[in-house]
Chain A
Amino acid sequence: MRIPTAVRPAPAPWQQWWVLSGRVIRPTLRNGELLTPPAASVLFTIGFYIPLKQLMGNFLDGMSNYAQYLLPLIVLQAIAFAAVSASFRSATDAVLGINHRFGSMPIAPLTPLTARLSASVFRCSSALLFAILCGHVIGFRFYNGAEVTTAFWLLALMIGVLLSLLGDLVGSATRNPEATSHLLMLPMLVFGLLSVGVQPVEQFPGWIQPFVRNQPISQFIYALRALAGDSTPAAGAVNWSVIGPALGWLVGTIAIVLPLYAYQSSRRR
């Protein structure tokens, strides 16, 4: 007598990734969600530039104009806004139980996360593109060569990946789609304002200056500002002492978040 056996399916990870990414991206093409990252880019550009131009115009650290000074912060805020929606999606997935379902299917543990991240990167890219376009309108220009400009875009996108990863983790931890997105949005504004993006570190009260100078957003802004360059040398030189800390924050945070994510998803199962 033969014992009936089933053949274990051998799914293709790439195809799974493609299908799961489509699952996240396709609804956003229909429900208007695709329009929010560009809208956020425009909002942050006018929201920071128009009211603060006069007020902060005197403290530029020697840079040529306020648009050039402000753009890294606008880029970071726009990307963060796009990345925050990752938390909404992962919280929804966690609540609806689709993660349990995926866990019972022959899918690699990180594939659903990767698919959600790809959707977030897609949104971050559009936010980044529109932030640069808006910046161009108010007077921002790239002053360094093609390689350094490419490095600017890559660094900004990597920050987007990092923020999406963080948002995804927070979302699947809180399992509350309602509150999570806003929970992340205002803190982004708080960190953005408490950085060197709006005004130089010397303008802050003395007791908070060490925090302002060393917090990750400020380090990202120093790096992005140097990569974008300026007509004056005040933007900072592109060297490891400027770019290094930003990369350090990126790699370090990802190295902490990934094990946390693994712990989080294994605990739920």
Chain B
Amino acid sequence: MAVAGGGTKAGLLFKGPRAASRESYERSPWRLLVQIRLQTARILRGWSRDVATTIEALIVPIALLFTLDIVLGKAISQVSGESALYGSVPMVAMVGAMSGATVGGIGLMRERTDGLLSRLWVLPVHRASVMFSRIAADAARIFLTTVAILCVGLLLGFRFRQGIMEALIWLCVPVVFGLAFCALINAIALYAAKALVVEATGLLYALLMFFSTGWVPLAQYPSWIQPAVQHQPLTYAVEAMRGLALGGPVLAPMAGLLLWVAAIVAVCAVPLTNGYRRASMRG
């Protein structure tokens, strides 16, 4: 009896005009915002309760910054005439953003394997909310990491020589590039094997780090490799952030960085959405 009653109730709920409103419910832009907020909070809560993620996003970049300051700081300041921190603080912020992206990418893979993605696919939620909430969560994580690294940098002697406005833009640069990197990692994560993704992204960001002007000044590289160092995204980000904090050209490196971001997003957008749809409809 109870079962039949339940059946009738469900029938009443999803019949006639209700069906149409359910459709618009799934597509409502306002609902999209609410759902993004909800799912972003879910991802962030998961990360904050995982010790390993917290250590990786906060403690390890800070340790790296201290180390770089101790090991290379003196030698670089001697050859370049300015504190090495103006290059290494931005670089470590970017490394934190990139190493965190891998956590997100593999979290996505795990949710695919666990069936959460296909579950969300059949629930009355906006289809775009899952993707957007990932982006929002990544942005929040990168911003927090950048603030933490900045605090350590301030302790070591990093200062903003320009204005408040420049400082605020400085804080947003890692978020912009970090999100593009996350798009890249997520696109790879939806197609490749797990262990390979972890290692390949590790190698990728180590390569970007070793050959950027945040590691050592440009003049330290042999002249044949300087063009590659000069035009890679991490160098653009470091130089833009150096300009914003210390003074110097900002527009040119910023334009280069935004071009890289646009290119990465353009390349990844279609594989990302296709791969995501495929992962959600699996099984």
Q: Which residues of A contact B (CB under 8 A)?
A: 27-28, 31-33, 36, 39-40, 43-44, 46-48, 50-52, 54-56, 81, 85, 88-89, 92, 174, 176-183, 185-187, 189-190, 193-194, 198-199, 203-205, 208
Q: Which of B202-257 contact A (CB under 8 A)?
A: 202-203, 206-207, 209-211, 215-216, 220-222, 225
CB-defined contacts of B64 to chain A, threshold 8 Å: 186, 189-190
Q: Given A33-B193, A51-B210, A177-B194, decide whether A199 and B202 contact each other with a Cβ distance below 8 A.
A: no
| Set of chain B residues within 8 Å of A44, measured between Cβ atoms | 206
In contact, B206 and A179 (Cβ under 8 angstroms): no
Check if B148 is an interface residue, CB within 8 A of chain A: no
Residues of A within 8 A of B67 (CB): 189-190, 193-194
CB nearest to A34 among chain B residues: B196
Q: Answer yes or no: B107 CB below 8 A from chain A CBs.
A: yes
Instruction: Give Cα A122–Cα B71 distance, bound, in whole angstroms.
Output: 33
Instruction: Specify the chain B residue showing the minimal Cβ separation from A181.
Output: B198
Query: Nearest Cβ distance between residue A188 and chain B, in whole angstroms?
Result: 11
Q: Quick one: given A31-B195, A55-B220, are A40 and B203 in contact (CB under 8 Å)?
A: yes
Question: Given A179-B52, A182-B102, A193-B72, 18 other A-B contacts at CB below 8 A?
Answer: A33-B199, A36-B196, A43-B203, A43-B207, A47-B211, A50-B225, A89-B195, A92-B194, A174-B51, A174-B52, A176-B52, A178-B107, A178-B198, A182-B99, A186-B61, A186-B64, A186-B95, A193-B71
Q: Could you tell me the distance between the alpha carbons of A198 and B194 in the complex, rounded to whole angstroms?
A: 33
Interface residues of B (CB under 8 A from A): 50-53, 55-56, 60-61, 63-64, 67-68, 70-72, 74-76, 79, 95, 99, 102-103, 106-107, 110, 192-196, 198-200, 202-203, 206-207, 209-211, 215-216, 220-222, 225
Known: A39-B203, A51-B220. A204 touches B71 (CB 8 A): yes
Which B residues touch A46, using CB under 8 A? 210
Give bound CA distance, A174 to B56, whole Å.
13
Query: Are the C-beta atoms of A179 and B53 separated by less than 8 Å?
Result: yes
Q: Which residue of B lies closest to A89 (CB)?
A: B195
Least distance between A187 CB and chain B CB atoms (Å): 7
Q: Which among A43, A50, A178, A204 is the interface contact of B70 at CB below 8 angstroms?
A: A204
Neighbouring A residues of B70 by C-beta, 8 Å: 194, 204-205, 208
Q: A56-B75, A177-B194, A178-B107 are in contact. Are A183 and B55 (CB under 8 A)?
A: yes
Main secondary structure of the interface of B (DSSP, over half): helix
- Please name all residues of chain B whose beta carbon is closer than 8 Å to the beta carbon of A47 when the two chains form the complex: 206-207, 209-211
Flag if A51 contacts B60 (CB, 8 Å): no
Contact A85 B221 (CB under 8 A): no
Residues of A near B74 (CB, < 8 A) are: 203, 205
B106 CB contact (under 8 Å) in A177, A187, A194, A204? A177
A-B contact pairs, 18 of them (CB 8 A): A32-B193, A43-B207, A44-B206, A51-B210, A55-B76, A89-B195, A174-B51, A178-B110, A179-B55, A181-B199, A182-B56, A182-B60, A185-B99, A185-B202, A186-B95, A186-B99, A187-B60, A193-B71
> Smallest CB-CB separation from B53: which chain A residue?
A179
A47→B79 CA distance, assembly (Å):
19
With known contacts A51-B215, A55-B79, A189-B64, A31–B193 Cβ distance under 8 A: yes
A189 to B64, CA, bound (A): 8
Bound CA span A52–B76, Å: 10
Contacts of B198 in A (CB 8 A): 85, 88, 177-178, 181-182
With A176-B52, A183-B55 already in contact, the answer to whether A51 and B63 are too (CB < 8 A) is no
A52 to B216, CA, bound (A): 8
**A205–B206 CA distance with the chains assembled, in angstroms:** 26
Q: Is the CB of A85 within 8 A of B199?
A: yes
In the bound complex, how far is the Cα of B50 from the Cα of A53, in angstroms?
A: 40
Output the least CB separation between B56 and chain A (Å). Answer: 5
- Of the candidates B60, B63, B103, B199, which one forms a contact with A36 in the assembled complex, judged by CB atoms under 8 Å apart? B199
The answer for the CA separation of A185 and B98 in the assembled complex, in Å, is 13
Which of chain B's residues has its CB closest to A96's CB? B113
